Amino acid sequence: MNEDRILIIDFGSQVTQLIARRVRESGVYCEIVPFNKADGLDKLFAPKAVILSGGPASVTGIGTPRAPEWVFKAGVPVLGICYGEQTMCAQLGGKVESSDEREFGRAVIEVLEDSPLFEGLLQAGESEPVWMSHGDRVVALPSGFKTIAVSRNAPFAAIADEERRFYGVQFHPEVVHTPRGAAMLKNFTHKIAGCKGGWTMAAFKETEIAKVRAQVGKGKVICGLSGGVDSSVVAVLLHEAIGDQLQCVFVDTGMMRAGEADQVVNLFRHHYNIPLVNRDATDLFLGKLDGVSDPEKKRKIIGATFIDVFEEEAKKVGGADFLAQGTLYPDVIESVSFAGGPSVTIKSHHNVGGLPERMNMQLVEPLRELFKDEVRILGRELGLPEEFVGRHPFPGPGLAIRVPGEITREKLDILRKADVIYLDEIRKAGLYDTIWQAFAVLLPVRTVGVMGDERTYDYVCALRAVTSIDGMTADYYPFSHDFLGHVSTRIINEVRGINRVVYDVTSKPPGTIEWE
């Protein structure tokens, strides 16, 4: 399945993940690795081609990132994007300079020569809209290169060394603002690198089942079910792979969505006949969270308590050798992010990279190569009901991060009731599958209001709804005023404890923490 593999070397661009999405969408498997962890991957990963991403640094600076030397000696095609083009030119003998004539946003390139990169899309003399984002620019090409496209402020907007199959573009083909950029990337992976495009979810499923069997052998695996799509897909995949060697544990933290515990137990215990322990640990979790308001402390308490519970349950079922969890590729990317950026804190509720030594278990993470939308495709391949596959994401800490400040049973009950109404109205409007994630938040703010002849002093409820493809970026959903007015009225009328409702219109750029 993975004989055609593309390696994407990341220089810190906020849209590097989009390169991977476009490559995978064309049926070619790829992985992202930070530039400072790419040494030796010519042999370990054996890529069929390499893509160098954009990045925020300046090639003209001292000590700024560079591609490993093997990239240009391995005999495989290389595509440099933005910073990737600049560092390729600088490393191969060209010249890059800072420029006062910067390009940010929409631009137009003019194609000077036909090229395999533009085959079937553009010919010499034609122009094309693209998305630029650069301050520096190439001013002299290395030996063997030629210019194949220019823009107003980029004299080397696209370059090529056809003999060595090295290409560079100053624009970003991975973003939607470059309308035919995905097709250009496909030209690079399929026509220039010769990839067949045979990476499918059915093939991934069979490969992962074989990998799980090889890793686990005759050992026992304990898997934590949260009720979300990730853990559900992991559980069903593992059950296909190892059968009764799998023991699932559903921990009711007291911070689940309304009715979630019953849904999980009914599906996995009664429908799939998967061994399942249903542990009600509400008192344990809420006791440890009593009086805690800092969000990061809440995450750590919840994570540590989960580990304690899993240890207890593993001992009860006779010990487990492995712990399965639904780590996704965005978790992995952000946890080993460029220059050790802020994602280590962002993803602190995942055990990406290992478990405490005292657990004496190995991790099984069959989804760690997939994006969120790919997990849904795998779930359908495995036959999971749509109510689980299409369910909106629900992070491990549950409602704990939707109750900013101190958590109490009263607040959780209020929030659940508001959340049920909100999602009910979204479903009635036929919008649930259009929206990537929607939820209510109970703000740590109380306001004075008058309801009828009664003076109230109750909480403010915030509503959140975003659209996204893979969870790496998100934009708020533009509900109509009528919809928001109707939902707000229902919540205020039906949920005691809330007297005001607001709608959050914050977007999530790449690399930012979830709204909480």
- The token duo for 51 is 């893509």
Extract the runs of DSSP E, i.e. beta strands, from 115-184: 127-140, 146-150, 158-161, 166-169
Tokens 């696209």 belong to 158
Q: From residue 358, how far is each of 248, 279, 311, 354 by CA, in Å?
A: 21, 22, 9, 12
82 annotated active-site: yes
Choose the catalytic residue: 31, 128, 134, 172. Answer: 172
Are the C-beta atoms of residues 169 and 79 closer than 8 Å to each other?
yes
Are the C-beta atoms of residues 133 and 172 closer than 8 Å to each other?
yes
270 annotated active-site: no
Q: From residue 263, how far is each of 59, 91, 260, 387, 421 by CA, in Å?
A: 54, 57, 5, 10, 18
172 annotated active-site: yes
Choose the catalytic residue: 31, 103, 128, 174. Answer: 174
Strand partners, 440: 463
Are the C-beta atoms of residues 247 and 317 closer than 8 Å to each other?
yes
Distance CA(169)–CA(99), nearest Å, equals 17
Q: From residue 213, how far is each of 58, 216, 219, 221, 364 by CA, in Å?
A: 46, 5, 10, 11, 11
Is the Cα torsion angle 81, 182, 390, 268 positive or negative in sign?
Answer: negative
User: Whose CA is closest to 167, among 72, 41, 231, 236?
Assistant: 72
User: Following DSSP, what letter does each residue of 378-446 receive, concatenated?
Assistant: HHHHTT--HHHHTPPP--TTGGGGGS-SS--HHHHHHHHHHHHHHHHHHHHTT-TTT-SEEEEEEEEEE
Tokens 């915030």 belong to 462
Identity of residue 362:
Q
Choose the catalytic residue: 82, 89, 223, 461. Answer: 82
321: Cβ–Cβ under 8 A, 6 or more apart, which residues?
Answer: 216, 219, 220, 221, 361, 362
Distance CA(290)–CA(283), nearest Å, equals 10
The catalytic residues are 82, 172, 174
